Amino acid sequence: MATEFGAFADPIADKMLIGSALVGLSMLSELPWWVTVLILVREVGVTLLRLAVIRRGVIPASWGGKLKTFVQAVAIGLFVLPLSGPLLTAASVLMAAAIVLTVVTGLDYVASTIREVRKPGT
């Protein structure tokens, strides 16, 4: 069952879970802090943007946003494992893809929201 509350709360829960894992990895020096900060800034920014336009209705997570969350989660899962050599390189490549998806989907979300706000009659 899909509800407006679920469309709003589910992405926030995902962000909290991903964010806490990133902070933990950075605290353990498994992941550079700049990666964690970049992802957290994007997530907080998108959440604040969603709150700013909530009176127009909840904007559900996009396909790209869901892909971003999935890639982040898999990359984090790999960084938790005791990998070395090519597997660690693969984990780093996947985290790089997660960073690119994070930035691209964040910019797309801002652009989509601006287009929606500027629509006549809204």
Tell me which of 11-20, 36-45, 111-120 is least confident. 111-120
Q: Position of tokens 């898999």? A: 74
Residue 97's SS3 state is helix
CB contact at 8 A, 49 and 110: yes
Residue 81 has pLDDT above 90, yes or no: yes
Q: At what angle do helices 33-52 and 86-118 cross, to 10 degrees?
A: 20
> Quick one: which H or E segment has residue 74?
helix 63-80
Mean pLDDT across 83-105: 96
Tens digits of residue pLDDT in 21-56: 999 999 999 999 999 999 999 999 998 988 888 777
Domain tally for the chain?
Answer: 1
pLDDT of the residue at 29: 96
Quote the domain boundaries for residue 20.
4-118
**Interatomic CA distance for residues 92 and 117, integer angstroms:** 37
Residue 77 has pLDDT above 70, yes or no: yes
pTM of full prediction above 0.85: yes
Strands (E), the chain: none
